[in-house]
Amino acid sequence: MQLPDQINKQAAEWFTLMQSAHASAADRQALRDWLAEHDDHQEAYRQIEAVWSSLGDLSGTADGIALRRSVEPLTDKLKSFLMAPIAMIASLVPSPKYAMSFVALVAVIGFIMLPESNQPITNHYSTQAGEIKTITLADNSEITLGAKSKISTRISDIGRSVNLISGEAFFDVAKDRQNPFAVTVNNVLVEVVGTQFNVQRIQDDVSVAVLEGIVNVFASEDSAAAALPAVVLTAGQMVVKASNRAFDSVIAVSTADLGAWRMGRLIYRDTSVADVVADAGRYFDGKIVLQSEELADVKVSMTLRTDQVGQLPQMLAQTLPLEVHVISDNIIVLKK
């Protein structure tokens, strides 16, 4: 239960006074009157008692001793972080005779409530049709998220991981040799120390392309290809992994093409029609549906701007035996 800061402060003041040698009978009666004023007063005081009791139970145990020793070598940075607000709070305490006891109580409770820096927090990000978003992570790595894409991130001082749920993302990873950066997507694991690379998921196929540095690409442990050795990619190389087969051969890619979608250009070289429609469709506020199994695997090469995706059906129909059926403003069907 989250209580107002002022009530928590008052409860801490009362509790500290009651633990001191200065509490008089009048003070105890005043506390009873304060507790009777409002249920929030009782709850705040109960919470302070619970925290203090927990500390007492822990203090004599092996865990308590270990905890006390573990926090003795506090860094100067953490000391400053703790002492600044404590000094400010102490200045607000009206009675100097128990001000230092109150400061000690606040310090202990504040330290207990501090989040553990090595516990990663999961964050979720997504984009809409045609939207491109840049995300700066806690480790200063940057992720550029393509249209209609979703990721989750867990970044801490003991682990850096991202799950690309759908779509495409370009990663500019801050170097940290002690803490590798991992990206999971469908049945693929990508691991780096610090580099720039692009990961794309089209349906169940995953492609990884490297702009700078070295990238290790593995089949995930729960996939049929888990026993395969890692594929090592360097700048200007790409590999594709389908869910039902091993890695394709590593191929060379133009670094000028790599991640061009970040500048609003979609470049497809010897790409199946089905994959072109699926990928480009993320930049269309609607649906482009290919209803032709015969043409799905036909390879095409083309370039278009992200704001031209609405014209993609007509562009394909110029070179392929396709009919374009406009069902509505945002639904286009392609048939043989």
Q: What is the pTM of this model?
A: 0.64
Per-residue pLDDT for 203 more than 50?
A: yes
| Res. 76 pLDDT band, cuts 50 70 90 | very low
209 shares a domain with 122: yes
Cα separation, 256 vs 292, whole angstroms: 32
pLDDT by residue (tens digit) across 125-173?
Answer: 999 999 999 999 989 999 999 999 999 999 888 889 999 999 999 999 9
| Res. 8 pLDDT band, cuts 50 70 90 | confident
- The pLDDT value given to residue 255: 87
100-109, 256-265, 268-277: which has the minimum mean pLDDT? Answer: 100-109
Most confident stretch, 15-29, 33-47, 114-128, 201-215 = 201-215
pLDDT by residue (tens digit) across 86-95?
Answer: 444 444 444 4
How many domains does the chain fold into?
3
DSSP notation for 142-205: EEEE-TT-EEEEEEETTEEEEEEEEEEEEEEPPP-TTS-EEEEETTEEEEESS-EEEEEEETTE
- The pLDDT value given to residue 92: 44
145 shares a domain with 103: no
Boundary of a domain, candidates 48, 83, 113: 113
Q: Give me the domain span that covers residue 72.
A: 5-113
- The pLDDT value given to residue 182: 95
Boundary of a domain, candidates 64, 97, 113: 113
- What contacts 284, CB < 8 A, 6 or more positions away? 129, 130, 309, 310, 312, 330
Nearest one of 173, 207, 211 to 192, comparing CA atoms: 173
- Joined tokens for residue 251: 């191929």
Q: What is the CATH number for 224?
A: 2.60.120.1440
- The pLDDT value given to residue 55: 56
Question: Which residue would you say has higher pLDDT here, 73 or 261?
Answer: 261
- The pLDDT value given to residue 95: 47
Averaged pLDDT score across all residues of the chain? 80
- The pLDDT value given to residue 111: 45
- The pLDDT value given to residue 54: 59
286 shares a domain with 206: no
Dihedral angle sign, alpha carbons of residues 252, 257, 261, 265: negative
289 shares a domain with 220: no
